[in-house]
Structures are given as C-alpha cells and as structure tokens.
Amino acid sequence: MRRVIATLSLSLAVLGTAACGDTPTTEAGPGTSAAPSASAPAAPAGTADKKTTCAAYEKAELAAKTAVVNLFGEAVKSMDDKAKLQQVATDLKKTMTDFGAALGTAAANSADTEVKAALEANIAALTTAAAAIESAAGDFDKASSAMDAPEFEAATKKIESLCAA
C-alpha cells in the first residue's frame, strides 16, 4: 500500500515537473515510438511567445495531474486486484503519452528556443518512462519504478524556472 501511494505521489510530482518536446509523441502501436530520431532536422520555430507556451504547458500539466490523482484513487481501491492494478499501469502510460503529446504541441508552437528545449527534454523523459511502463507488461510495481527518473526532476525544474521568469 505504501509503495502504491509513494509511486502515485511521485508520478504526480514528476508530471508536475515534466514538460517538453519538439514533436508530439503519439501512440503508433505496441512497441513503437512516433518520436523523431536524434538526427532529424530541427523543426522551424513556432510563433507562440513564452507566456503562451508556458500557459499551454500549465494546462497540460494540470490535465496530467488530474489524471494521476484519479489513478491514485483507482490504485488504492485496487490494491488486492492485480488485473485492476495492471489497468492503472496502462492508464498511467496513456496519461504520460498524452502529456508528452500536449507538450510536443506546445514546443512545436513555441518561438522561445529555451522553453522549446526544456519542453523537448521533458518529452524525452516522458517517452523513456512510457516505454519502461509498456515493457513492464502491466506489472504495477515495475511500471511505477519507471517514474523514478532524475531526468524528470531536472526537466521540470528547468521549465518551471523559465516560465516563472
């Protein structure tokens, strides 16, 4: 029980700090990633200013936090039901994927290169965690461990500091 609470609390904190990406991450199917390769040419700068981009980040972050809070409640109710916990892990991956997609859109529209780079770092962390959750094959403990990444904290701190300035 403590592990579930700690994991979902961490997930909420991570989603609260993660944000970023140049390209939206979409579900392309099991085991695939729609993220561009590192050698892909940089996308042209968007037209949204820093304030608009940060507002888009904050909206996406709020939606992700809300979803994680709901997942927290489901996980607590499902402590003795492995199938339900597997569904919570699947839903957590979807929440992260959706958050990454929203951040990707914000980054693509951003004309601020620093904010755009911070969003991209967040998307990379979300993509890595979502892949780890998927490879956990529904094992909630393994899926929750995927959220314990220092990249999330660093990326989140960066975007929050940029948006606060």
At 43, is the secondary structure helix, strand, or coil? coil
pLDDT tens profile 35-71: 444 444 455 568 999 999 999 999 999 999 999 899 9
pLDDT tens profile 66-113: 998 999 899 888 888 888 888 888 898 889 889 999 999 999 999 999
10-19, 50-59, 113-122: least confidently modelled range: 10-19
Q: Encode 67-99: b = buried (16+ Cβ within 10 Å), e = exposed.
A: bbeebbeebeebeeeeeebbbbbbbbbebbbbb
- Statement: residue 144 has pLDDT above 80: no
Q: What is the mean predicted confidence (pLDDT) over 120-142?
A: 79
**How far, in Å, are 73, 93, 104 from residue 107 at the CA level?**
31, 21, 5
112 dihedral zone (left: phi>0; alpha: psi -120 to 50; beta): beta
28 dihedral zone (left: phi>0; alpha: psi -120 to 50; beta): alpha
Question: Where is pLDDT greater, at 133 or 63?
Answer: 63
**pTM score of the predicted model:** 0.68
Confidence of residue 26 (pLDDT cuts 50, 70, 90): very low
Q: What is the mean predicted confidence (pLDDT) over 113-138?
A: 85
Mean pLDDT, rounded, of the chain: 75
